[in-house]
Amino acid sequence: MELLWDGIKEAFFLIVSGDQEIWAITWLTLKVSGVATAISLLIGLPLGTWLALRDFTGRGCLFSFINTGMAFPPVVVGLWVSIFLWRNGPFGDLGLIYTPTAMVIAQIIIATPIVIGLTIAALQQLNPYLRIQLLGLGASRLQATFALWRESRLLLLAALMAGFGSIISEVGASMMVGGNIKDQTRVLTTAIVLETSRGRFTVAIALGFILLLLAYLVNFGLTVVQQRTTRSKDIQ
């Protein structure tokens, strides 16, 4: 218990003291995961919408691949991204291995299937005639898509939260493609692994609390938006 209590005190101290290294790690964590979430949303939302609304041969098979992708182990993603970005790998010339960009790429691969899968689920729970109704009222294809997103906004926000949650907490891929280099690619999860391996449990606990706080604050913001939407539906 003492260890835990010391960890909490350390975390508080690290936060209020404005420790430069901790703030740099926290900022990089937020930046890498934020950019990866945004890009996976840009890819996953339109792709998930297209897949949800189109009927084609092999659709079920593709859905099962996407569902499998939702459970991609981060270390496997890290392994494959490392192979591709390794100096003598197919994209080795780009010099991306052990950079934040490599971490963003790996996290996009982890989060995108989650966003696609949950977007498909969100749109498929709508009445299938809703799109026909929108088009029958004179919506352009784009207007109809935005209206469908609006109708399923609660679940789409959940997709966003799930995507962000899956990557801010992953360690395997970030460690493998980022290398946990001090002042360059060290993020909260990889720093926790490092401090634990060094036996500096109080610092590891402190970093863990900061990571939890960060995840909580981002999800709190999204939840507020989500619940405001729910409340406005009840009150309107």
Partner 1 sequence: MNSNNRPILTIEDLHVARGQDFHLSIDQLDVVDGEVLAIIGPNGAGKSTLLLTITRLLNPLSGTIRYKSQDITQIDELAYRRNLALVLQEPLLFDTTVYHNIATGLRFRGLSRAEQEKRIELWLSRLNINHLKTRPATQLSGGQAQRVSLARAMVLEPALLLLDEPFRALDSPTRTALIDDLRRLLSKTKTTAIFVTHNQDQALSIGSRVAVILDGKLQQVGLPQSVFSAPLDSKIADFLGVENILPGVVRTSETGKIMVEVNGNQLEAVGDADPGRDVYFCLRPEDITIWKTPDIPMSSARNQLHGIVSTITNQGHLLQIRIDCGFPLIVLITRASADDLEIKIGMQVFAAFKASAVHLIPR
Residues near partner 1 (CB under 8 A) are: 127, 129-130, 132-140, 143, 147, 150-151, 233-234, 236
Closest CB to partner 1 among residues 46, 136? 136
Closest CB to partner 1 among residues 30, 139? 139
**Minimum CB separation from partner 1 for residue 152, in Å?**
9
Angle in degrees, CA 190, 104, 219, rounded to 5:
75
How many Å apart are CA 136 and CA 89, to the nearest integer? 52
How many Å apart are CA 190 and CA 193, to the nearest integer? 5
Helix H segments across the chain?
2-17, 20-53, 59-69, 74-85, 100-124, 130-136, 141-151, 153-168, 172-178, 188-197, 201-235
Closest CB to partner 1 among residues 2, 234? 234
**Minimum CB separation from partner 1 for residue 126, in Å?**
10
**Minimum CB separation from partner 1 for residue 134, in Å?**
8
Closest CB to partner 1 among residues 150, 198? 150
Q: Are 87 and 19 in contact (CB under 8 A)?
A: no
Q: CB 61: neighbour CB atoms within 10 A? A: 8
**Minimum CB separation from partner 1 for residue 75, in Å?**
41
DSSP structural state of residue 93: G
Closest CB to partner 1 among residues 95, 128? 128
Closest CB to partner 1 among residues 1, 235? 235
**Which residue's structure tokens are 């197919």?**
90
**Minimum CB separation from partner 1 for residue 115, in Å?**
22
How many Å apart are CA 100 and CA 28, to the nearest integer? 8
**Minimum CB separation from partner 1 for residue 124, in Å?**
16
